[in-house]
Amino acid sequence: MTRKGRRLVLIAAGLGVLALAAGLILSALNDTIVFFRTPTEVAQQQVAPGSRLRLGGLVETGSVTKAGTVTTFTVTDGNGTVKVAYSGILPDLFREGQGVVAEGVLEADGSFRADSVLAKHDEKYMPREVADALKKQGVWKEGENGAPAPARPAAAANTGS
Amino acid sequence: MIAELGQYALALALALSILQVLLPAWGAAKGDAVLMGTAAPLAFALMGFVTFAFAALIQLYVTSDFTVVNVVENSHSQMPLIYRITSTWGNHEGSMLLWVFVLALFGALVAAFGGNLPDRLKAHVLAVQGLIALAFLSFILLTSNPFLRLAPPPAEGRDLNPILQDPGLAIHPPLLYLGYVGLSVSFAFAVAALIEGRIDAAWARWVRPWTLAAWVFLTLGIAMGSYWAYYELGWGGWWFWDPVENASLMPWLAATALLHSAVVMEKRDALKVWTILLAILAFSLSLVGTFLVRSGVLTSVHAFATDPARGVFILGILTFFIAGGLALFAFRASELKQGGLFAPVSREGALVFNNLFLTAATAAVLVGTLYPLALEAFTGAKITVGPPYFNLAFGGLMLPLVCAMPFGPLLAWKRGDLLGVAQRLMLAAGLAVVAAVVTAAAVTGGPVLAPLAVGLAVFIMLGALTDLAERAGLGRVRAKVALARLAGVPRSAYGTAIAHFGVGVCLLGIACEASWSQEKIAAMTVGDQLVIGSRDLTLERMENRTGPNYRARSAVFSIRHQGEPEGRIDASRRIFASRQMATTEAGIRTFGFSQLYVSMGEETQDGHVSVRATFKPNVTLIWLGAVVMAFGGMLSLLDRRLRIGVPKPARSRVAAVPAE
């Protein structure tokens, strides 16, 4: 094979892998991204039951009940509320009145079945999406729930959610 | 006093770094040997002052000097000594100082072990290292000074984040930084080569050990971080595709690609331009990782907003080095001479295949990590790109790579015989099929494809060993001769085989853990039993315990395996009073390569405690595989060829003759 021919093979292989990668990336992005929604948005946008989403807000005070391993609680953003059911061990920082992000599926009756509850925050840190959403609703102001979070230390790099 | 001395040392180090940029570069431009010779002493002095500053900060932490803001915010006098030391880098300022310390260390190592480098190359490399040090030292002094005083001093510190109060903090960040920052050496070599417009096989021979060392540390650092997250967070997950994890994975992928392309360059004098580009990209991804984690753009926009100076400063450093490196590449790459030719089916071809897929996989991770940021910046929509994306995109790109892995080392240079290689791999492939069939018959449940994944892992492991067996002529010559030959196989070949074997081990662990983990969640009171696989757990009692700076509530279980007692396992929750925070301390017992993982939740008022027990078959293989990979890398590093270093010019010229 000539120098040119070999280079062509190389370029063709490179383009092939590139196309494969682009195809995989795009199709995977299409099927797997999960949108973040607040209870108000869930009500307003009439999210179809069965779709996966991340629900964020505050755990309504007095709403947490436990039956066996199933915990139910209400997520509120001041305007709307959504009832959430979760089976499993809640994160260490799950508390009434605190921010929470639950990922799962919206049921037909409007309740939310969470398969994971994230509490990626320390005692003074709101999950970012929740803080932004609550600010939009006028429920939470900077500094009210403690100072904004410091940048996470690199040491925590692999301890994230 | 110590704080002031530390800060003063940093300022002096900054001044030295300026000299380390200017003097050697000037000397190289003028061909002045004396000026070029200043590079090494300057690198040593820089390292001395940075070490002093770092030691000063550690001393402040050890003595709990609460007149220093950084210590107040991240330490507590009641913490055990080991955590008082490690909390030095368990925060933004301290970890940046660790970053610079590692950088200075590598600079000094290049100066110390670079005795056989050509003067100009050495001067340029150290000047580039000096420039990186200059950027990060300015960053520390201008935006993240760890030595700031506080008046009046509080009586007690605010304690280190309890999640970080773990031996993992002593090991994980230093290893990771040795990897991240080690890639700066490859970057400096690449830039130096571009400045000189000259590059040859000898260059690759100098770069490879540094890349290899960085790669070994990065591998261990990532594995350590993964294991730490696994046992500390109480969820039992070992990889979350969290952006900060991806930030460490991307440089690793690029460094892996760089290692392989440097082999081609060293052996065959081909792929020069590509290797240079990879060296620039690998360190760029390290910087991107540093930016993502340090700027706070990922975890919290607030940290970014409260101190925009930091994020913008790092973004500036990032832009300067990446854009500068790439611009230099664009201008100068065409001057590098093209190297040797090779057929598509050959060792070189296989290594190109490796590089294509590794860079594509890096791109997939990069897109998944940055896409949510970009989307939010442009449209305001908040999305999560989670594990399903990465499993599909990254997994899809890694699959062809790992399938092809056993073939690569068996292919000949220049022109390979794929059919012949396939024949030599028949035994490995046959045994892999047997392993898949046996697995399918032995286990129940799990995905249909899981036994195939086990088969693939076995194929990779045996394929790696096939290379060694082939080199020894096992089965073709007498056993004694084969053994003698095996002893003569170069260490780098052992390194390759062992590292590839490690990939198989890791894959086996991933396949087993993902397919056949058994999980039970239950609300238990004392005396209750929980059956998990062939074992059952009995909650024996609940206990209160106290640690140096926390209280703990522990659940003590006894384990029985098919009726036979197998000891006990404790899961607990620690409550740290100083931060009003709780952490979950999972109970972990190892059986063979498998682990039983038990974590407990909060207790209800009627005395029930929620318990999650998971049996994870072969889960430890995931990290053992990484350790095996790193061990392979270390063996390769000990290869005679790399230790002796500089080849005679005549020999390298012979190697550089195009292979036609």
Structure confidence by residue, pLDDT tens digits, B17-39: 999 999 999 999 998 889 999 99
Predicted local distance difference test score (pLDDT) of residue B286 = 93
Contact state of B612 with A89 under an 8 Å Cβ cutoff: yes
| Residue pLDDT, tens place only, B200-251 | 788 888 888 999 999 999 999 999 999 988 888 777 788 888 888 888 999 9
Predicted local distance difference test score (pLDDT) of residue B130 = 96
What does the domain layout of chain B look like in residue ranges? Answer: 407-516, 518-616
Res. A140: pLDDT tops 80: no
Higher pLDDT pick, B169 / A32: B169
Phi, psi of A82 (to 5 degrees): -135, 135
B657 pLDDT band, cuts 50/70/90, is very low
Predicted local distance difference test score (pLDDT) of residue B141 = 94
- The mean of the pLDDT values for chain B is 88
What does the domain layout of chain A look like in residue ranges? Answer: 1-31, 35-145
Contact state of A153 with B612 under an 8 Å Cβ cutoff: no
| Chain B residues lying within 8 Å of A29, measured CB to CB | 367-368, 371, 385, 389, 393
Out of A9-23, A35-49, B343-357, B433-447, pick the least confident: A35-49
Paired tokens of B185 = 């050496």
Contact state of A89 with B226 under an 8 Å Cβ cutoff: no
- For residue B548, whether the previous peptide bond is cis, meaning omega lies within 30 degrees of 0, is no
Round to whole Å and give the CA distance between B564 and B534. Answer: 11
Chain B residue whose CA is closest to A116:
B235
Half-sphere exposure of B427 (CA within 13 A, CB side): 12
| Stretch B448-461: mean pLDDT | 93
Res. B656: pLDDT tops 50: no
Predicted local distance difference test score (pLDDT) of residue A127 = 61
Distances (CA, A) of B271 to B267, B338, B349: 11, 8, 11
Predicted local distance difference test score (pLDDT) of residue B322 = 92
Predicted local distance difference test score (pLDDT) of residue A158 = 35
Is-contact B195 B280, C-beta < 8 A?
no
End-to-end CA distance of chain A: give it in Å, rounded: 52
B4 pLDDT band, cuts 50/70/90, is very high
Predicted local distance difference test score (pLDDT) of residue A122 = 45
| Stretch A66-92: mean pLDDT | 84
Chain A residue whose CA is closest to B170:
A155
Contact state of B305 with A125 under an 8 Å Cβ cutoff: no
Res. A123: pLDDT tops 50: no
Is-contact B536 B530, C-beta < 8 A?
yes
Out of B36-40, B422-426, B445-449, B482-486, pick the least confident: B445-449
| Residue pLDDT, tens place only, B521-568 | 888 899 999 998 888 999 999 999 998 888 999 999 999 988 888 889
Out of A133-147, B437-451, B464-478, pick the least confident: A133-147
Predicted local distance difference test score (pLDDT) of residue A137 = 64
Nearest C-alpha neighbor of B328 from the set B228, B188, B222: B188
Predicted local distance difference test score (pLDDT) of residue B374 = 83
Chain A residue whose CA is closest to B340:
A3
| Chain B residues lying within 8 Å of A31, measured CB to CB | 388, 392
Out of A132-136, B160-164, B600-604, pick the least confident: A132-136
User: Of the segments B164-173, B505-514, B556-565, which one has the largest average pLDDT value?
Assistant: B505-514
Is-contact B453 B511, C-beta < 8 A?
yes
Phi, psi of A99 (to 5 degrees): -70, 150
| Chain B residues lying within 8 Å of A154, measured CB to CB | 89, 95, 173, 176, 244, 293-294
Is-contact B347 B388, C-beta < 8 A?
no
Is-contact B295 B309, C-beta < 8 A?
no
Q: What is the total residue count of chain A?
A: 161
Report the relative pairing of strands A81-87 and A112-118 from DSSP bridges.
parallel
Contact state of A29 with B573 under an 8 Å Cβ cutoff: no
Q: What ipTM was assigned to the predicted interfaces of this complex? A: 0.75
Is-contact A133 A38, C-beta < 8 A?
yes
Which top CATH class is A35-145?
mainly beta
| Stretch B256-269: mean pLDDT | 90
Is-contact A79 A24, C-beta < 8 A?
no
Res. B655: pLDDT tops 90: no
| Stretch A151-157: mean pLDDT | 35
| Helices H / strands E in chain B, number of each | 23, 10
| Residue pLDDT, tens place only, B304-353 | 334 667 778 888 898 999 999 999 998 887 777 666 677 788 888 899 99
Round to whole Å and give the CA distance between B324 and B317. Answer: 10
| Residue pLDDT, tens place only, B566-593 | 889 999 988 888 777 788 889 999 999 9
A121 annotated to bind ligand: yes
Res. A93: pLDDT tops 90: no
| Stretch A61-80: mean pLDDT | 85
Predicted local distance difference test score (pLDDT) of residue B309 = 72
| Chain A residues lying within 8 Å of B580, measured CB to CB | 123
Predicted local distance difference test score (pLDDT) of residue A124 = 45
Q: Tokens 């299409």: give the residue.
A: A30
Res. B659: pLDDT tops 60: no
Res. B475: pLDDT tops 80: no
How many CB pairs below 8 Å do chains A and B form together? 213
Our measurement of the distance from residue A120's CA atom to the centroid of its chain's CA atoms, rounded to an integer in Å, reads 10
Paired tokens of B334 = 């065409």
Contact state of A17 with B360 under an 8 Å Cβ cutoff: yes
Contact state of B602 with A17 under an 8 Å Cβ cutoff: no
| Stretch A116-143: mean pLDDT | 60
Paired tokens of B634 = 């270390």
Predicted local distance difference test score (pLDDT) of residue A64 = 87
Write down the pTM of the prediction: 0.89
